[in-house]
Amino acid sequence: INGSIAVDHTRAIKDEAEIALMRESSHINDLAMAEFKKLPKAGMTEIEVASKMLDIYKKLGAEDYSFTPIVAFGVNAADPHHMPDETVLHEGETVLFDVGCKYRDYCSDMTRTFFYKGTPNDEQMHVYNLVRKANEDAEAYVKPGVRLCDIDSIARNVITEGGYGSDFTHRLGHFIGIEDHEYGDVSQGFKDLTVAGNIFSIEPGIYNAKTMGCRIEDLILVTKNGHEVLNHYPHAMEIIE
């Protein structure tokens, strides 16, 4: 008898020791993001920026990446799964970092979208604020006993009502622990109820090559009485100078 689903459900409920490790992994990721945003300079490539990240993580106490970091400049940010390449950064472009580290084998995962030396136009500001609202509204809804598909719907409805529904092209989130993607989705097709001890990502995004690509991602813990957002790096729009 295949018992993997039983193991998967058990792994999805973190105990206090695991939660403490995941808090620390996300804390390191917050500190790292503050360092990563200092890396981009005009003329650098995505690969050049990404190549400096592991040393920063290790100096902060992490062991390794939890996954290959995503660094996306300009139009590349409109590809949600873009891998760093030789694309060169120019002033006025967006810079998207989707990054995570391992601390004592437990993973973190966070995304922030910045603007490099340029003020976003009105449509870009609208997109950014939609993604931020989708993230924060979905996080506010999280507590024990709610359907994962309903959390997805809250974020998806914000983006749809804002006019970009067709540009949110992936699930809202995934479970995480000793692997960066574990069993369990925050998606339209996943109707399981949340349980205290679950940890998953909330990562709405808008991917429009003509406007911009934008994603804001945090990890969130379901607690006995509500939730705890494990990431504390701000959601506010930032311009890298």
Tokens of 143: 């507590």
Neighbours of 191 (CB within 10 A): 10
> Residue 55 and residue 90: Cα distance in Å, rounded?
25
Q: Identify the pLDDT of residue 207.
A: 98
The model's confidence at residue 131, banded by pLDDT at 50, 70 and 90, is very high
pTM, whole model, 2 decimals?
0.97
CA nearest to 110, candidates 169, 194, 22 = 22
The model's confidence at residue 4, banded by pLDDT at 50, 70 and 90, is confident
27-64 pLDDT, tens per residue? 999 999 999 999 999 999 999 999 999 999 999 999 99
Average pLDDT of the chain?
Answer: 97
- Range 180-205 average pLDDT: 97
CA nearest to 32, candidates 77, 64, 73, 75 = 64
The model's confidence at residue 3, banded by pLDDT at 50, 70 and 90, is confident
